[in-house]
Amino acid sequence: MTKLEIRPLTADDDLDAQRDLGERAFGAMPPAMRDGWLRRNARTVAAGRYLAVFDGSRQVGGAAFFDMRQWWAGRDLPMAGVASVKMAPEARGQGIGRRLMTELLREIAERGYPLSALYPATMPIYRSLGWELAGGRYQATIPTRSLRDLLPPDAALAVPGRDLPVLRKVTAADAASVISVLGRAHQAARDCGPVTRDLASVEEWLAHREEYRYIGDDAFLAYEWQRGNTGLFAGWLAAASPEGTRALWSLLAAHSSTANTVEVRTSPDNPVWLLLRERDARLVKLSKWMLRVVDAKTAIEGRGFPDGVSLTIRLTIVDDCLPRNSGLWNLVVDGGQGSLERAASASSSTASSSTASGGAGTLTLGARGLAALYGGTPVSTLRLAGLAAGGSPAGDAALSAAFSGLAFMLDDF
């Protein structure tokens, strides 16, 4: 190999070479999907978010990141969704992939993203750079007939006169409304993990993806037929009210004469488990995703927290890849919000792996432990995995309560 160069792709570069690398890495792309792939990724290139590895004039690797918003306990933050990480088969095993991901992480940090997430094909390289498992993408299978007779609201709590909202078909012009409805649904549920995309990406999705979509004032559904038109797949189902929730499930139930089952991407605590009369639904798929806290201070201060949790804890973070996160911090959570300020005794210079723990009672986390905690992993689990040290039992309980949540995504990227 000649001297390698890692840089953002430009409009003058051959984007199709990245498609070819992707097929060599992950398998052939159906010809009908190629135009759409090139169209979507041309926008990523134009935004400077697609990095490639060049061996001379030949592309031997690449990785991209999407501009997303990720929801954490009812508040959304910017998040860089990493995708399309690939290396030519003949270039593997030489450390090039780590160099590429190191440069990608640097670019993400320079652009000010507090968080990054990805779906890993392999985990060691990402863990070595501070990403860690934080949540899942869940899929459930429900007999369509079971949706025809959902349990009514508790009689003692029912509000008379509330009808199910009217749902209408979605057009490409509804992109902003779709983003708004999804955001309000995740905010109302205080969801942890799901993402919403930028306007151009949603417009692209609505204009080209073959799905059936419906929207209401606070509800959105996207689904399609599968298995020879004997079943449905709902990739998106979200609502901000009980009435919106019932309206969406009732629309799917209307297909019960022809569709035997509905497969739906969902959260582990979707209210549908409480609406079905029998134990008919089952989780059938789980894809784990990884999280990286890129800017610890911004990530903590932008996240939502349970309103009833109040704590002040001294925390040492060790992050060799992003030294600005390292050091001794005071973490405060109160009134549903958090703050992270450098402790008075911490050096103003950046810290490395030699950073002191900060004394008795100070909890110490590396980048992986911080990411897992942020995603809702209890501190006791972090300790058993060797990702946390120091601290106290009372501090562990308070931190676990503050960051609690079943992190999930509906998106796939």
- Residues 251, 147, single domain; the answer is yes
pLDDT of residue 1: 60
> Is 413 a domain residue?
no
Q: Which domain holds residue 224?
A: 137-288
- Residues 336, 361, single domain; the answer is yes
Name the maximum alpha-carbon separation found in the chain. 74
Backbone φ and ψ for 176, nearest 5 degrees, come out as: -65, -40
> Is 42 a domain residue?
yes
> Is 407 a domain residue?
no
pLDDT of residue 345: 65
pLDDT of residue 344: 83
Asked if the model's pLDDT at residue 307 lies above 90, the reply is yes
pLDDT of residue 284: 85
pLDDT of residue 161: 65
Strand order in the sheet with 327-334: 337-342, 327-334, 311-318, 363-366, 388-390
The stretch 58-64 carries a mean pLDDT of 96
Among 22-26, 129-133, 307-311, top mean pLDDT goes to: 129-133
pLDDT of residue 188: 95
The stretch 298-305 carries a mean pLDDT of 98
The stretch 375-388 carries a mean pLDDT of 97
What contacts 24+ positions apart, CB below 8 Å, involve 375-384?
Answer: 375/132, 375/133, 375/134, 375/135, 375/192, 375/193, 375/291, 375/403, 375/405, 375/407, 376/134, 376/135, 376/192, 376/403, 376/404, 376/405, 376/406, 376/407, 377/134, 377/403, 378/404
> Is 22 a domain residue?
yes
- Residues 355, 393, single domain; the answer is yes
Mean pLDDT, rounded, of the chain = 92
Is residue 226 within 8 Å of 210, Cβ to Cβ?
A: no
The stretch 22-30 carries a mean pLDDT of 90
Backbone φ and ψ for 173, nearest 5 degrees, come out as: -75, -5
Q: How far apart are CA 134 and CA 362, in angstroms?
A: 23
Per-residue pLDDT reduced to its tens digit, 243-300: 999 999 999 999 999 999 999 999 999 999 999 999 989 988 899 999 999 999 999 9
pLDDT of residue 209: 75
The stretch 342-348 carries a mean pLDDT of 67
Q: How far apart are CA 347 and CA 343, in angstroms?
A: 9
pLDDT of residue 354: 34
pLDDT of residue 352: 40
The stretch 339-360 carries a mean pLDDT of 58
- Residues 106, 165, single domain; the answer is no
- Residues 147, 275, single domain; the answer is yes
- Residues 283, 325, single domain; the answer is no
- Residues 32, 122, single domain; the answer is yes
Per cent of the chain over pLDDT 70 is 95
pLDDT of residue 258: 95
* Residue 240: CATH number of its domain: 3.40.630.30
Q: Bridge partners of 212?
A: 223
pLDDT of residue 223: 97
The stretch 400-409 carries a mean pLDDT of 96
pLDDT of residue 377: 97
- Residues 270, 191, single domain; the answer is yes
Which of 130, 159, 179 is the endpoint of a domain?
130
pLDDT of residue 266: 94
- Residues 162, 276, single domain; the answer is yes
Non-local CB neighbours of 210 within 8 Å, separated by 6+ positions? 224
> Is 338 a domain residue?
yes
The stretch 87-91 carries a mean pLDDT of 92
More confident residue, 72 or 39: 72
Per-residue pLDDT reduced to its tens digit, 129-149: 999 999 999 999 999 999 999
Per-residue pLDDT reduced to its tens digit, 260-276: 999 999 999 999 999 99
pLDDT of residue 360: 54
The stretch 360-378 carries a mean pLDDT of 94
Asked if the model's pLDDT at residue 358 lies above 90, the reply is no
- Residues 281, 316, single domain; the answer is no
Asked if the model's pLDDT at residue 348 lies above 60, the reply is no
Is residue 79 within 8 Å of 45, Cβ to Cβ?
A: no
Is residue 317 within 8 Å of 299, Cβ to Cβ?
A: no
Which range has the worst mean pLDDT, 24-33, 254-263, 283-292, 338-347?
A: 338-347
- Residues 331, 385, single domain; the answer is yes
Q: How far apart are CA 66 and CA 43, in angstroms?
A: 10
Asked if the model's pLDDT at residue 46 lies above 70, the reply is yes
Take residue 345 and report the two structure tokens written for it: 């005794």
Give the number of domains in the chain.
3
The stretch 205-213 carries a mean pLDDT of 88
* Residue 376: CATH number of its domain: 3.30.1050.10
pLDDT of residue 255: 96
pLDDT tier at 359, thresholds 50, 70, 90: low
For strands 132-143 and 261-266, give the pairing: antiparallel
Take residue 307 and report the two structure tokens written for it: 């309103």
Which of 130, 156, 185 is the endpoint of a domain?
130
- Residues 217, 337, single domain; the answer is no
Which of 268, 288, 308 is the endpoint of a domain?
288
